[in-house]
Amino acid sequence: MTSLRKLENGVLTVGTFAAAALWIFPLYWAFITSMRSEDRVVSKEAGVLPDEFNPAAYIDILWNTNLVSWYINSIGTAVIITFTVVVSGMMCAYAISQMRFPGRRILYGVVLASFMVPSQALVVTQFILMNDMGLINTWAGIILPQLIVPVVIIVYKQFFDAVPKEMREAVVLDGGGDYTLLFKVYLPLNWGITTALGIITFIMAWNQFLWPFLAVTTENKMTIPVGITQVNDAFGVFYARLMSVALLGAMPVAIAYLIFQKKVTEAVMISSGVKG
């Protein structure tokens, strides 16, 4: 019985990694392709194993596209979005959770309701608004419509609600106001949540396609996900270069994920409410 169990376990583990190998294959294949010359990529002899380490495609991409501008735009807009969303969400959640003011319940109702509304359905009128404000092809135009992330407020509120009331009293006795409470007590107590929400917001903003695609038309103002589709149009079917630009575009977040794997895993679990 136990040896049967052992065999079963072995088979399951091997099966798991066979499935994992299949799952990672597209990325492996993109890498192999990107390291070959364009001729080699489409030749009959090119097998599934790595056989060439030719960085020509990467060099070509770095020289002949706006990749560096796209990096700067992506990092710049994603950082500003993340910071603004987390700070404004934290402040709003604190007020809803800890203070009494008229309209508090309505405000939280609006936050919950907007959580259920697809922002994609608003792109037409958001575009008209940004166009009226003269913000098409600017960072502000990319950033503004991405600043509403209701889940940040919802998660913060839950965690602020759970902070024991005694924590407040010491600060209040010393004459500290709500800003002191928020930044000296509630924020330090919830650093884990802040990192988690920051990570989730950053990944979302970095990968956003539809809105930046609509809000930007000039090539050097594009973000990474939009920019790399331009390489397609410029090169046609030069797959070594297409794969190298795709991998270069994916690299920063992929590396960050591999370094902070545990944090990201936790962040996804917390922000979707399955782990508190």
* Ranges within 209-248 binding other proteins (CB under 8 A): 209-210, 214, 224-226, 228-229, 232, 237, 239, 242-243, 245-247
> Binding-site residue total for other proteins (CB under 8 A)?
95
Phi and psi at residue 250, in whole multiples of 5°? -85, -20
According to the binding rule CB under 8 A, does residue 29 interact with other proteins? yes
Query: Among 37, 66, 69, 88, which residue sits at the site for other proteins (rule: CB under 8 A)?
Result: 88
Token pair, residue 76, equals 């710049």
Amino acid code (one letter) for 191: W
DSSP character string of 61-73: HHHHS-HHHHHHH
**Distance from chain centroid for Cα 126:** 21
Min dist CB 165 to other proteins, Å, is 16
Q: What is the spatial distance between Cα 241 and Cα 225, in angstroms, rounded to a whole number?
A: 16
| 155 vs 242 by CB, closer to other proteins | 242
According to the binding rule CB under 8 A, does residue 126 interact with other proteins? yes
According to the binding rule CB under 8 A, does residue 129 interact with other proteins? yes
Query: Among 94, 156, 159, 235, which residue sits at the site for other proteins (rule: CB under 8 A)?
Result: 94
Q: What is the spatial distance between Cα 136 and Cα 15, in angstroms, rounded to a whole number?
A: 50
Q: What is the spatial distance between Cα 221 and Cα 216, in angstroms, rounded to a whole number?
A: 6
According to the binding rule CB under 8 A, does residue 158 interact with other proteins? no
Min dist CB 58 to other proteins, Å, is 15
